[in-house]
Amino acid sequence: MHSMEVTYCGGLRTKATHLKSGVELITDAPTDNNGKGESFSPTDLASCSLASCMMTIIGIMAQNHGFDMDGTKAEVTKVMSSDPRKIAEVRIRLVFPSDMEADEKRKTMIKRAAHTCPVALSLNEALRQTVSFVFNGNEEQ
């Protein structure tokens, strides 16, 4: 049995439904590709999925090691190439709360968790995944 359903609504728009929860999301083609750009594009979702997956895996690790990362934000930038039209790079800047303790051991664990999330490991190796981490206002690769 399938767990999601996607319906083409016309006008380069789709509606995806998560069948277990009934949650729906809309995609629109971007304005630079004949669309209205009124919602996430499919390539936006792919880029956001990478960031969401990284944060989820880091969150699981945080729970298992007894620290709180609530309020962490991911700033996501998608870079497209034109020939062929595809995502060339996803830039993610993970900004952790300033009050989160982050010694070298924890930073290493967080970085490893981010780079080994299922989405990161599933994407084509040609797609550049540029990730930076901000701990206590200091940015690291």
Q: Do 78 and 108 share a structural domain?
A: yes
Closest CA to 123 of 17, 49, 30, 58: 49
Q: Do 9 and 72 share a structural domain?
A: no
Judged against a pLDDT cut of 90, whether residue 9 lies above it is answered with yes
**Tell me, what CATH number does 109's domain have?**
3.30.300.20
DSSP code for 81: E
Q: Residue 115's CB: how many other CB atoms inside 10 A?
A: 13
- Model confidence pLDDT, tens digit, residues 16-26: 999 999 999 99
Number of domain units in the chain: 2
Q: Do 21 and 46 share a structural domain?
A: no
Judged against a pLDDT cut of 90, whether residue 111 lies above it is answered with yes
pLDDT score, position 39:
95
Supply the Cα-derived Rg of the chain in whole angstroms: 17
Q: Do 47 and 97 share a structural domain?
A: yes
The side-by-side arrangement of strands in the sheet containing 85-95 is 73-82, 85-95, 128-135, 138-140
Q: Do 110 and 58 share a structural domain?
A: yes
Residue owning tokens 């945080």: 62
- Model confidence pLDDT, tens digit, residues 33-85: 999 999 999 999 999 999 999 999 999 999 999 999 999 999 999 999 999 99
Q: Do 83 and 46 share a structural domain?
A: yes
pLDDT score, position 1:
85
pLDDT score, position 48:
97
- The parent domain of residue 17 ranges over 4-33
Q: Residue 135's CB: how many other CB atoms inside 10 A?
A: 19
pLDDT score, position 15:
97
Q: Do 52 and 23 share a structural domain?
A: no
Q: Do 112 and 59 share a structural domain?
A: yes
Beta bridge partners of 89: 79, 128
Q: Do 123 and 74 share a structural domain?
A: yes
Q: Do 119 and 84 share a structural domain?
A: yes
DSSP string, 51-71: HHHHHHHHHHHHHHTT---TT
Mean per-residue pLDDT over the chain, rounded? 96
